[in-house]
Chain A
C-alpha cells in the first residue's frame, strides 16, 4: 500500500520547547490511524504541522508523493487534507447550510464571485445532503450554529470536514465532551467513511479508538513512543506507563 502521508524527522519548536521532537511516521493510504498520548505529548501540534497551521521547524511532510512542508494551509486543504478542530471552530453566526457552503466553496472555483448569488451544483447539493445525513443533521440545516447544542456543533464540525470528500481526514478529539450516545454516533460516522479516505484520529477514549483503527501511534514528549496495532497497544508496558497507567491512576 503506498503511503498517503510520510513525516520525516518533523520538529516543531516554540522557542526552547520542542512540542514535536523528531517524529517520523508513514501512514498507508486508506488506513485508520489513531494518535494517542498524554496531554502535552504533541498530538495537536503534529496535526498543525500536517495541515500547515504551524510550520515545521525542520523535517519533511510528504503527502501523496508531494513535498508539502512549505505550503500554506489553504494549499494543503486544496490537495485534499481536511481536519476538525479540538475546540469547535465553526462560523457561529452562519447557518449549518452556510457553513457547509463555505466548505464547498473553499475548494471550488467561484470563491471570488463578488456580486453573484451563492449557487451550488447538483453534485455539490448531493454532497451536502450526504454530509448532513452522515452527521445526523437533517432538519437543522437552516439553524445558526451558535443556536445548536455542543453535541450538534461537533456534528457540524464533522459534516464540514467530510463534505468535500477529502483524501485525508484529520480528526482532533472528535468525541471529546460528548455523551455516550453521541460518541457512538461519531464512531459510526467514522466507520462509515469510504475506505479510500485516510483517517488520522486523536482521541483519548481508548474504547472508541481501539475498535475503530488499524494502527495506533503513541506519542510521548513530542516523540513516537510505540507504533502497534490496537490489540497490542493496551498490553504494551511503555504505553501503560505513560498513558494508560496514568489514566488508570487518575481514574482510581
Chain B
C-alpha cells in the first residue's frame, strides 16, 4: 500500500479516537501526540544530521515556561503567549546551536547535556520568575472553544500532523539533504562548497523550533510547569521515544511516543518499579530491533535481496 495512504488512514483513525475513548484516554492520546512532536524534533538531528541531542527537553520546557508565564504573569492572550513560547524556544535553540555546531559525537552529546543543565538550573533558581521548585501554574489557559478535551485533542492532532508534514518536507528538502551529507561526511561537504557550521546551526534552530511547538502545546495541556519539565529526564524521554520508534524514520516517533507513554501508564498501575520495566523494554529494543519499531517494520517489508 502507498505510504501516503497509510498515514492518511492513521490520521483518520487518530481523528475518530475521542469518539470512542474515555476522557482519561483522550488526555493520554493528547500527551502522546505532544511528545511525538518532541521526539520527531530530536529525530531530525539524530537521524538526519547524526547529532544526538540531550537538551531538547530543556528547549521544550523553555516554551512551556514562557507560555505559562506570559499568560499567568504577563496577562497575554493565548495566541501571542503560544507564539512567544515557540519564539523563546527557537532563540534558546539558536544560542545552543552556536555553541554546539563545532562538535560532534560524544562531545556534542555532553555539550547538550551541559546546556540543558544550565536551563534547568536557571528554572530552579530564578524563583522570582519561574517559581523555583514550586513551578508555575496557569489557570483556564485554553480559550473557550478548546476547553473540551476532545476539541483540544483535535487541535493538537492537527498541529502534530502539520509539524510532521513540515519536518518530512524539511528532511527531504535540498537543505535536509545537505544535513544528511554532513552526517555522512563533513570534510566532503566542505570540499563541495558548503559552510558546514552554518548548516548545522540552521538545522539545530529548526529542530529547536519544532521542540518549542511541542513545549508550547504542552503548556496548554498541563497548565503547570516545574523544573522537572526542563530536566534531563525530559530530553532522555524524548530521545527514547525517537529511538524506540526508529531513528531516521521521523514518523516512527508517533509509535515510539505511544509505546512508551502507554507502557508507562499501564505498568505503573501494577508496580511502582515501572521505570525498571521501561529500562528492560529499552534494552530489548536495542538488542532485537535497533532500528526501532518503524525501522524494523520497514526493513521486513522491504523487498528481499535489496542491498541495505
Contacts and interface: CB of A to CB of B under 8 A. Distances in A.
Nearest to B167: A115
A180 interface: no
B190 A105 contact: no
B193 A94 contact: no
- Chain B interface residue number, banded: 20 to 34
B187 A115 contact: no
Contacts of A53: 187, 190-191
Contact of A113 (B173, B191, B193): B173
Interface in A105-137: 105-107, 110-119
Contacts of A52: 190
A115 B173 contact: yes
Interface stretch (B83-91, B138-146, B175-183, B276-284): B175-183
Contact of B192 (A77, A110, A113): A77
Interface centre among B169, B170, B181, B191 (most CB of A within 10 A): B191
Nearest to A93: B184
Contact of A115 (B166, B188, B191): B166
B172 interface: yes
Contacts of A103: 192
B215 to A, nearest CB: 21
Contacts, number: 101
B194 interface: yes
Given A72-B190, A89-B187, A107-B193, A102 B307 contact: no
Interface string A137-167: 0000001101100000000000010000000
B217 to A, nearest CB: 21
A73 B175 CA distance: 19
A118 B174 contact: yes
Given A91-B180, A91-B181, A113-B173, A74 B187 contact: no
A100 to B, nearest CB: 10
A98 interface: yes
Contact of B181 (A77, A82, A94, A119): A94
Contacts of A94: 177, 180-181, 184
Interface string A59-73: 000000000000011
A99 to B, nearest CB: 8
B4 to A, nearest CB: 15
B97 to A, nearest CB: 15
A115 B166 CA distance: 7
Contacts of A106: 189, 192-194
Contacts of B188: 85, 89-91, 160
A102 B186 CA distance: 12
Given A90-B184, A91-B184, A91-B185, A116 B174 contact: yes
Contacts of B193: 74, 77-78, 106-107
B180 A93 contact: yes
A19 to B, nearest CB: 17
A85 B173 contact: no
Contacts of A105: 174, 177-178
A117 B177 contact: no
Contact of A111 (B169, B172, B175, B183): B175
Contacts of A72: 190, 195
Contacts of B190: 52-53, 72-74, 77
9 contacts: A73-B190, A85-B188, A89-B185, A90-B185, A90-B188, A101-B174, A101-B177, A114-B206, A144-B307
The 5 closest A-B pairs by CB, nearest first: A106-B192, A106-B193, A77-B193, A91-B184, A147-B307
Given A85-B188, A106-B192, A110-B174, 14 more contacts: A74-B194, A74-B195, A77-B192, A82-B191, A93-B180, A94-B181, A102-B181, A103-B192, A105-B178, A106-B194, A113-B174, A115-B169, A115-B173, A117-B173
